[in-house]
Amino acid sequence: MRKDIQKAADAQAMLEELRAEMVKLRGVAPAPTPVTPGVSADDVRALVNETITNVERNRTAQQNITAANDAVVRNFGSFEKAGEAVRAKAAELGMSLDDLKAIAAKSPTAFEKIILGDKPQGGGSGPLEPKSETLASGSNGGSQQLQPGTKAYYDDMRVKQPSKYWSTAVQMALHKAVKDGTYEL
């Protein structure tokens, strides 16, 4: 048994010598054991920035889709009629609803142009005339002031200050105005 163990030990020593000699001849060191690198602060920072960018991109896309939907619904008078018009336009153009949604996510104005064409925005003559908006007259009689909580107030804000309009606080106030009845759809 000792002879067998000695033969195995000799064979192992000879194998190690051969490996060392092969390394010398090839000029290549044996492959090191792979080391798993840790996550650096820069990696974490880059990941956080990428995540924030994606969240902002998604939020902007959702806001654009909402703005496009609002414009089309406002023009057609109801959600159902607007949906029918969008489906009809998609079929006419040979596009899917997802394709139109992608356009709305990138540019609500382009979506409106595709769906509404050159129709006057916000209605016009005929059965889809918009409701008259109540504006309070100023003391000088000529200027008009928008009353906070009214549709005209929020529509004006959306046009002149879109970032403020789409803020969480203003959206919550808008929903409260709808609930309270000061904002007429």
Q: Are residues 139 and 92 in the same domain?
A: no
Segments forming the whole domain that contains residue 93: 49-118
The residue from 94, 118, 142 where one domain ends is 118
Checking if the pLDDT of 53 tops 60, the result is: yes
Enclosing H/E stretch for 66:
helix 41-76
Which of left, alpha, beta for 184 (phi over 0: left; psi -120 to 50: alpha)?
Answer: beta
Task: Return the higher-pLDDT residue of 91 and 139.
Answer: 91
68 found inside a domain: yes
94 found inside a domain: yes
101-117 pLDDT per residue, tens: 899 888 888 888 888 88
Please give the model's pTM, rounded to 2 decimal places.
0.44
The residue from 69, 91, 118 where one domain ends is 118
Q: Are residues 102 and 138 in the same domain?
A: no
182 found inside a domain: yes
The DSSP output letter for 183 is S
Query: How many domains is the chain built from?
Result: 2
Which regions of the chain does DSSP assign to beta strands (E)?
Answer: 136-137, 144-145
Look-up of token digits 């602060």: 41
| Confidence class for position 126, pLDDT limits 50, 70, 90 | very low
